Chains A and B, each alone.
Chain A
Amino acid sequence: MRTRKVTYIAGGALLCIALVAIPLTVKKEAGFTGTDDKAKDAIAQTNPHYKPWASNFMPTFSDEVSSMFFALQAAIGAGIIGYGLGYLRGSKRKDSGNK
């Protein structure tokens, strides 16, 4: 039972890694820019007269700073998940210990 579980988790993790790694190796020359920026370009192409009528509230920072914000967001998310799952696991162990 336990080995089966480990196999599933390892298989899932490997699948995820492969799905990210394969495009990175196959499409080395592609820039891997965000789809949002491509959408801006596409709008400019299909509707050349469209002018964006609002700009971002925050000034645009360098890539380093914005990747910091993304890392922060991921860290907050992962932190909450870790806390929640850890809490559940701890309380389950305590329950089974009391019985």
Chain B
Amino acid sequence: MLSSLVEKKKRHLWCLLLLLVAPHPLWAMHIAEGFLPLPWCISWYIVIIPFLLAGLYSIRKKIRHNPRIRLLLGIAGGLTFLLSALKLPSITGSCSHMTGTGLGAVLFGPFVMTVVGMIVLLFQALLMAHGGITTLGANTFSMAVAGPLVAYMVYKVLAGLKSPQWLSVFMAAFLSDLATYAVTAGQLAWAFPGDGGVMASFVKFITVFAYTQLPLAVIEGVISVGVFNFLQNHSIEELKSLSVVKPVSAQSTCEPEK
């Protein structure tokens, strides 16, 4: 009797805990249309402008330098299209999707993916009511600016530390996926602090968000490594011209960033 009561109480406690955790994931891949106050929407649009211009400039420069990389750019863009269309179930019982921008950032540097990612987000906002035009600036910042920046920095740091190629690519894609969600959580927490303040809500979201996105980020890492290895086997000249991998003969001399 007593034990069943305790058991019942325990179960209630669990339910309460679940209620506390489950309905609160304020992060999301994309912030839905209209779910960000107007000043925030405008601010995020302004924030992404320099990244977008840098991306357009960078694409033009890189294609002029080596026209053959257009194919790689297509592959990276295709990967972003593919991965961000797949909504996968995760351990928290909700669905989320990958970003696919990490690999492109490793190949082309951080800003090129801003352009590619924004095209994907525009496609989703216009056709599928996923994300939104008003929140496009904010969503572009999280998925196509912050994510790629993280991927690029992680890759460069790990490559500098002479980590194995596959590990660098994996960590870049993995962390850029997580970073995208972290930034989205931050954007929402910042705009909707609730009672506890920005930091409190952010910490809450970030701890919950990690669980949903963690397995998906691993999958994104695995896929990115697979595609990267294929490119390394079949398109090594282009990777060298993008200075993703160093020419074997010039291993010791550090190539300046182009």
Residue B160 is within 8 A (CB to CB) of chain A in the complex: no
**CA A40 – CA B129 in complex, angstroms?**
14
**CA A35 – CA B72 in complex, angstroms?**
31
Residue B79 is within 8 A (CB to CB) of chain A in the complex: yes
Most chain A CB neighbours (cut-off 10 Å) among B75, B83, B86: B75
The 0/1 profile, CB within 8 Å of B marked 1, for residues 41-53 of chain A is: 1110111001011
Among residues of B, the one whose C-beta sits closest to the C-beta of A20 is: B88
**CA A85 – CA B82 in complex, angstroms?**
14
Which residues of chain A are within 8 angstroms of B129 by Cβ–Cβ distance? 56, 58, 60-61, 66
Which residues of chain A are within 8 angstroms of B80 by Cβ–Cβ distance? 77
Q: Check if B234 sits within 8 Å of A30, measured CB to CB.
A: no
| Interface segment, one of B5-13, B53-61, B142-150, B218-226 | B218-226
Which residues of chain B are within 8 angstroms of A66 by Cβ–Cβ distance? 128-130
**CA A80 – CA B130 in complex, angstroms?**
22
Which residues of chain A are within 8 angstroms of B134 by Cβ–Cβ distance? 53-54
Q: Check if B234 sits within 8 Å of A50, measured CB to CB.
A: no
Q: Check if B192 sits within 8 Å of A77, measured CB to CB.
A: no
Beyond A42-B26, A73-B124, A92-B234, is A23–B93 a contact (Cβ under 8 Å)? yes
Specify the main secondary structure of chain A where it touches its partner: helix
**Cross-chain contact of A52 among B33, B79, B91, B219 (Cβ < 8 A):** B33
Q: Check if B81 sits within 8 Å of A34, measured CB to CB.
A: no
Beyond A34-B95, A41-B23, A42-B24, is A52–B35 a contact (Cβ under 8 Å)? yes
Total interface residues on B, CB under 8 Å, equals 72
The 0/1 profile, CB within 8 Å of B marked 1, for residues 11-48 of chain A is: 01001100110111011011111111111111101110
Which residues of chain B are within 8 angstroms of A50 by Cβ–Cβ distance? 37, 192
Most chain B CB neighbours (cut-off 10 Å) among A9, A52, A66, A77: A77
Which residues of chain B are within 8 angstroms of A61 by Cβ–Cβ distance? 129
Q: Check if B78 sits within 8 Å of A76, measured CB to CB.
A: yes
Residue A3 is within 8 A (CB to CB) of chain B in the complex: no
**Cross-chain contact of B33 among A24, A38, A45, A54 (Cβ < 8 A):** A54
**Cross-chain contact of B78 among A27, A29, A60, A78 (Cβ < 8 A):** A78
Which residues of chain B are within 8 angstroms of A30 by Cβ–Cβ distance? 92-94
